[in-house]
Structure 1
Amino acid sequence: MTASLDRVEALLRTAMAATARRPFVLGICGAQGSGKSTLADGLAARLMAAGLRVAVLSLDDLYLTRAERQERAREVHPLLATRGVPGTHDVALGLAVLDGLARPGPVPLPRFDKAADTRAAEPVLVDGPVDVVLFEGWCVGALPQDATALAEPVNDLERTHDADGGWRRHVNAALAGDYQRLFGRIDALVMLAAPGFAIVRDWRIEQEEGLRRTMRAEGRPTDTTMSDEQIAGFIQFYERLTRHILAEMPGRADLTLHLDERRRVV
């Protein structure tokens, strides 16, 4: 992780020196379990130790509440009840947070409780203005696919529950719309490139095990967490766009860190 931090910090400082825009927004993209949060937290600690004011914003914390997603599922497509893809985030909230972090005063950063599958009641307050925003997420900075790429399903989820392609077209349209306004705020983009989509299941299982340990330590029941089988089904929601990102983003990201199965930079 130290080598990764060194390379990302060097990119950030060089890019910040080339522009007066503040806050400087560094996007960090990577598949589920690739280490985005660890990298962001480690980088934030370094920058704050150097006297910079830093905020960490996760795309996951912008998920629509369960009630909002259920409404969208009724009105648009049933698969939108499940969090994950573009169309299941509050993009306007993300833009408002970035605007707030550029001004003096306290800014509430949303937090999403994945165990409860809804937004946490208490946000985290950060005093603005900040120098740097570390904006991390599994599809941060992603571009939409060509319409022709949507024709064929990529997995059983799409074949069984999206036979007419309505869900994936909606997701792609959302990504092409307001999400590009949000991602347009990114000043530099770092990608943690998994060796392939197949490893994502194992990484996501590790995440869920970590969540269960945290919940036990806090005295919370763990019956809301997912089994390995449930995770295998859940990541199918992410598969199409994850594969697309792995194919197209390395050629345009400001820094791509290629990872092996143990998340070591290769």
Structure 2
Amino acid sequence: MGQDWISQFLAEEDLPDSFRVTLETVCEPLAARLARLRQARRRTVLIGLCGAQGSGKSTIAAATVRLLEARGLSAVAISLDDFYLPKSARERLAREEHPLLAVRGPPGTHDVALAGAALDQLRAPGRIALPAFDKATDDRRPRAAWRTVATPVDVVIFEGWCVGARAQGAAALAQPVNALEAAADPDGRWRAYVNGQLDGPYQALFARLQEVVLLQAPSFDAVLAWRQEQEHKLLARTGHGMPDAEIARFVAHYERLTRWILTEMPERARLVFPLAEDRTPLPTE
């Protein structure tokens, strides 16, 4: 694809010119690999793209889709975020299981059955309306706002912060990892519930993936800074956004699994793209 497309994409996504490095070192190799897999398999290729909050996974997935389309393939990127349970369902979980389950994000707060059905339909002939979640209202968008896709597609990129993650061992749950867990989950019920969900329904969902690709953050501190940067941009654009203290508490819900993913997943992910503090891809061996 030519430079005109790249410039247009950078403008559409409000990205700095430095993102060209990511296009060259992450998106291009990923698109080339997926195109080869599709040619070899002769059926839908379904991969997971895992990356912590703020790592750029949605943008990378969107750019990779464009590159695949330029190769004559049909491709779609879908986000685990769009399968959050509606607010009312999470409020019910908060009453029945643990108050922390009202906060979207950790395993147990997604409609795993709906996500699985969507991934299955993307590989079968027909059409599908893909769910969409509105983070501003913290609720699922009306069905009329869902996008419709003709199926099957050649390549599906399923992106999300814990896509492809595995559960921790029971012993790892004993001690809180931050002040949120210590104060709001002193007996470990919430983290045990989240871990159990990841070990059960989420593994059945992730079993559909042929490969997992990891955008490897340099540290959890970087993840917090990235999430704050995202929120500052949202505030500047819309006038709405969380203050830094609220962001820190929100991200604390993700800390345990984020740290675990960064420790455990690199050894088994098909591709690992290490990121610098500014999200620029680092050279790999």
Which category of TM-score, normalised to the shorter sequence, fits these structures?
over 0.9
What amino acid is the match of 2:281?
A: V
Q: Does 2:25 match 1:3?
A: yes
How far is the alpha carbon of 1:13 from its aligned partner? 2.9
In 2, Cα distance between equivalents of 1:210 and 1:103: 39
How far is the alpha carbon of 1:237 from its aligned partner? 0.1
**Structure 2: runs of 5+ lacking an equivalent:** 1-21
In 2, Cα distance between equivalents of 1:18 and 1:252: 22
Percent sequence identity over aligned pairs: 51
Give aligned pairs, total: 258
Larger deviation: 6-15 or 226-235?
A: 6-15
What is the TM-score when the length of structure 1 is the normalising length? 0.94
What amino acid is the match of 1:3?
A: T
In 2, Cα distance between equivalents of 1:155 and 1:199: 16
Whether the 8 Å CA contact 1:27–1:135 is kept in 2: the answer is: yes
Whether the 8 Å CA contact 1:157–1:237 is kept in 2: the answer is: yes
Larger deviation: 59-68 or 2-11?
A: 2-11
Please report the RMSD computed on the Cα atoms of aligned residues, expressed in angstroms: 1.2
Q: Which residue of 2 aligns with 1:152?
A: 175
Q: Which residue of 1 aligns with 2:194?
A: 171
Candidates 35, 48, 66, aligned match of 1:13: 35
Whether the 8 Å CA contact 2:122–2:153 is kept in 1: the answer is: yes
Cα distance 1:212–1:108, how it changes in 2: closer, same or farther (>3 A)? farther
Larger deviation: 149-158 or 43-52?
A: 43-52
In 1, Cα distance between equivalents of 2:165 and 2:40: 24
Q: Which residue of 2 aligns with 1:61?
A: 82
Q: Which residue of 2 aligns with 1:219?
A: none
Q: Which runs of 4+ in 1 moved over 4 A?
A: none
**Structure 1: runs of 5+ lacking an equivalent:** 217-221
SS in 2 for 1:235: helix
Candidates 244, 257, 266, aligned match of 2:260: 244
Whether the 8 Å CA contact 1:15–1:188 is kept in 2: the answer is: no
In 2, Cα distance between equivalents of 1:213 and 1:106: 37
How far is the alpha carbon of 1:213 from its aligned partner? 4.6
In 1, Cα distance between equivalents of 2:118 and 2:234: 26
Cα distance 1:255–1:32, how it changes in 2: closer, same or farther (>3 A)? same
Q: Does 2:281 match 1:258?
A: no
What is the TM-score when the length of structure 2 is the normalising length? 0.88
